[in-house]
Amino acid sequence: MSALARRGGVNQHRSRMGAGLRSLPEQEQVALCRRSPLFSCIMATVVTEKLSRLFINVRQLPQLLGPLSPSTVSSSEVPKVFWKPYIHTGYRPVQQTWRYYFSTLFQQHNEAINVWTHLVAALVLLLRFQQLSQRVDFGQDLHAQPLFIIIVASITYLMFSSLAHLLQAKSEFWHYSFFFMDYVGVAIYQYGSGLVHYYYAIEPSWHEKIKGFYMPAAALLAWLSCAGSCYAKYRFHQSARLLSRLCQELPSGLAYMLDISPVAHRIYTAPRSERDDPALLYHKCQVLFFLIGAFFFSHPYPEKWLPGKCHFFGQSHQIFHVFLVLCTLAQIEAVVLDYESRRQIYSTLQGDLAHNFSALCLFTVTCSVLTAAYMARKVKNKLSFKEE
């Protein structure tokens, strides 16, 4: 029998079946269709087709997730601005597509650990914020505003840092611009830290001494920290580390000394009966973690001791990231405990000043963003002049 005849027979069978089905109730039509060999054949064909497409898509996953270019190169193949002390390989090639740099989130390179440490911490804080929002009325409780600010500031600096380390290899301009954005996040976090320490953790005796200047000084030093870091990044290279560290670390160090003073005073003056207070223990942990992290931020160890061994793991900046995350998590827990247990103290000391402190936070953010944008424009002009 020819193919044409077979096709005609099938079509006649379908027509007769359709006419017969239309004379039956709807439920019987469905049942009869399902028992039909033709229906089973059609369904098998459809399922086979779907599985084939799924198999093809699964086979394409490694290509979609894989790097779109050679994964890493040596320091000699990237501009000097990307160089890290004692790190000679693991760099990503410049001038690739944005898709390539996003895909390197799942690749091994010398920034991967820096990206993931802060990205995971940001996700942890998002979950913590969701838990807190079930028992803290951030919208109606005036005294919860500083707690809201420090959580948002922490997530902001962590996300900005992750983006900077992930995407900065695109070009020299984007290298500068993303790290300027990173410094904005740090400034916001510095102000938020100073705010919650002053609002929740402070003792009345220390509050009386510093209430006239603490918050304006905290805002000023947070902005100076951002401005100093941006200028150091723009003006100095690794060869001028002393001047770079002076511009970056001096305002940041002064900001930390001021911001941590309410906590340090409380730890120092705490009576013996309060030394096991969980909030105080968390505050001690955050100070310890910060100091350890600051050491690794300022000193290139262990890569200086192990040249050629820390291209991907074990860099000082990676260790700094880990301890900064621990510092932030301990700080958040301490502040939450202070918010819940010291309400009578801080509501008496602070009154209705939370709105003023929130406005000062907005001022700090605005100044820092404008500074970063201005420095990014200077970088663009500098690079354009160099190309000419």
> From the annotation, which residues make up the binding site for Zn(2+)?
165, 317, 321
How many angstroms separate the CA atoms of 198 and 146, rounded?
10
Tokens of residue 272, six digits: 């013996």
CB 89 within 8 A of CB 109: no
Q: Give the helix/strand (H/E) hosting 200.
A: none
Q: How far is CA 124 from CA 11, 155, 158, 162, in A?
A: 62, 9, 11, 14
Q: What are phi and psi of 91, to 5 degrees?
A: -80, 150
Distance in angstroms (rounded) separating the CA atoms of residues 319 and 322: 5
The amino acid occupying position 386 is K
Structure tokens at 295: 């050491």
CA separation, residue 40 to residues 18, 104, 121, 125 (Å): 16, 46, 52, 52
Binding positions: 165, 317, 321
Instruction: Please give the torsion angle defined by the CA atoms of residues 372, 377, 379 and 383, in that order, rounded to the nearest 10 degrees.
Output: 160
CA dist 147 and 129 (Å) reads 10
